[in-house]
Amino acid sequence: MATSIGPAWVKNLEELRRLEEFAGDLEFQRDWRAVKLANKKALAAVIKRRTGVKVNPESLFDIQVKRIHEYKRQHLNLLHIITLYLRLKRHPELGITPRTFIFGGKAAPGYFMAKLIIKLINSVAEVVNNDPEVKDRLKVVFFPDFNVKNGQFVYPAADLSEQISTAGKEASGTGNMKFAMNGALTIGTLDGANVEIREEVGPENFFLFGLTATEVQSLKAGGYNPLGYYDSDQELREVLDLISSGYFSHGDTQLFQPLVAMLLYRDDYLLLADYRSYVERQDEVGYIFRDEKRWTRMSILNTARMGKFSSDRAIREYCQRVWRVKPL
């Protein structure tokens, strides 16, 4: 990148905008993909060393790393994984885009439901990763001890950034910015900093799904009935029934029952309401990823348009607008 736009972007992130002129350049795209693949190979090596799971760097790296919490909806991600798994079980010849799903993060010590989500991630991984019918088309990894140091492997390797919290619940975190800065495309709701990221990178370079914050409030005020979504959506029903059956818990039908019951009878964070929209956008993600020129162009534009999120810019505006001070 430095050979194309020079090193000035390190001190002034707005300089990244100059990458836009290279977004369609085939040679630059080839170099961009080579860097991304090298980063994916580096992460794959770390995953193999720490978990024993072998993943394919050529697959779509679909990553969600953040604090484990119901409103961040790691379990919505899991519902999609199980949806793909069931499609492959029913139609082994199905030509889905190979994916590696990577989770990471910590739960509060006393947060039972978050701990149960971590258990379900690992239980789904155990089944999916060892199913010969799936082969290498789906892999699921829980990356242990996610922290800043490990993030140096994770963020640069991501193809897809999962920012799927319930609209209206998320503060303005920076994980989504780190992913986009490293050329990952975002699938997300209109929540937190996602709103500004989508404005900067362009709606055509962002996979938007789900209810808005206003729609969330309206649905809850009108008496939200998650069972209605379960009854009307066959794929969703099959996914939840599979979890309830003990399929992912060695026949134990009680282990994940608290999680399923929470979704069916309360669903405070509206996973079932957003499920179909999320799955449809994920189908689009898989389709576009197979078009490497289009995907690479979108990736480059995500990086090019992240200058606004520099802390230098934020501090400069505070100095100008709030503190009324000038640099010395």
pLDDT in tens, the chain (328 residues): 556 889 999 989 999 999 999 999 999 999 999 999 999 999 999 999 999 999 999 999 999 999 999 999 999 999 999 999 999 999 999 999 999 999 999 999 999 999 999 999 999 999 999 999 998 899 999 999 999 999 999 999 999 999 999 999 976 678 999 999 999 999 999 999 999 999 999 999 999 999 999 999 999 999 999 999 999 999 999 999 999 999 999 999 999 999 999 999 999 999 999 999 999 999 999 999 999 999 999 999 999 999 999 988 889 899 999 999 988 8
Domain positions in the chain are 2-323
For 272, residues 6+ apart whose C-beta sits below 8 A from its C-beta are 226, 229, 230, 236, 263, 264
Tokens of 82: 């199980």
Paired residues of 100 in beta bridges? 61, 139
Q: What is the DSSP string of 279-315?
A: HHHHHHHHHHHTSHHHHHHHHHHHHHT-GGG-HHHHH
CA-based R_g, the chain, Å: 20
Q: What pLDDT digit, counting tens, does each position of 206-238 carry?
A: 999 999 999 999 999 999 999 999 999 999 999
Write phi, then psi, for 24 (nearest 5 degrees): -105, 0
How much is the pTM? 0.96
DSSP reduced 3-state for 275? helix
**CATH superfamily of the domain spanning 2-323:** Glycogen Phosphorylase B; (3.40.50.2000)
